[in-house]
Structure 1
């Protein structure tokens, strides 16, 4: 099931420290890098760039890893 998330949506995801909340920054549909991490996103396999509300750090997640908060 594809999730329809939009810029600014509040979401949560699991990390090694537990659940983290933040917001969607954008839908990524092409390869990119976040710091030294390669994000292999494409139009057929998009990922979402999210920003943690606690740390302000950004990360990329597949839609199934995110839940609306």
Structure 2
């Protein structure tokens, strides 16, 4: 089972320029619009909206792409 994250968790993920870090803003468990795109998610297959410390922008990632600090 994929790792669970909570709002406020500090996480890292692979980005175009190497590794990025930021904070979990929201656990997404249903299809929605987030970070400028349509996100396909469900309670069994959640995704997480994260806010980058470097850019201040948000992105959505599957749990397998995130690592908790």
Q: What is the TM-score when the length of structure 2 is the normalising length? A: 0.90
Query: Which stretches of structure 1, 4 residues or more, deviate above 4 A after TM superposition?
Result: none
Tell me, which stretches of 5 or more residues in structure 1 are unaligned?
A: none
Q: How many residues align?
A: 69
Q: Render the CA deviation track for 1:27-46: whole Å, top value 9, x for unaligned.
A: 00011123542111111110
Q: What is the TM-score when the length of structure 1 is the normalising length? A: 0.90
**RMSD in angstroms over aligned alpha carbons?**
1.2
Measured in 2, the distance between the counterparts of 1:35 and 1:22 equals 14
Tell me, which stretches of 5 or more residues in structure 2 are unaligned?
A: none
